[in-house]
Amino acid sequence: MTRSQPRRARGTVGHAYSALNLRLALASFGLVTMVVFAVLAFRADLAWLGIVCAILAVVAVVDLAVIQRRRAARRREEPGVRHSLFE
């Protein structure tokens, strides 16, 4: 079973370990930005920069997957609770 917070984390259910909704917004922005920069870099024949941007886009996708798993675990632990962007 996936927990919403890792064991021995400093946060509690009342005080979140990580602002998951904010992380979701920032990771989404990073993904879109890096995809756009990668396309622009490849079009400008800067393959090395395009590869770096593509790798960062993959990191953002992995982060989005981790965030979604933690949000789902939090929803199972706290059904019916709505969280703001910073919780």
More confident residue, 12 or 78: 78
Q: Does any domain span residue 13?
A: no
Q: Does any domain span residue 4?
A: no
Q: Residue 45: what pLDDT?
A: 94
Q: Residue 33: what pLDDT?
A: 97
Total domains in the fold of the chain:
1
Burial label for 34, CB within 10 Å (0-12, 13-18, 19+), is buried
Residues 3-18 have a mean pLDDT of 58
Helix (H) or strand (E) holding 69: helix 47-77
By residue range, what is the domain housing residue 32? Answer: 20-76
Q: Does any domain span residue 69?
A: yes
Q: Does any domain span residue 81?
A: no
Q: Does any domain span residue 46?
A: yes
Q: Does any domain span residue 49?
A: yes
What pTM does this model have? 0.72
Average confidence score pLDDT of the chain: 82
Contact 53, 37 (CB under 8 A): yes
Q: Does any domain span residue 30?
A: yes
Q: Does any domain span residue 2?
A: no
Q: Which residue in this structure is represented by tokens 């593509």?
A: 54
Residues 21-47 have a mean pLDDT of 94
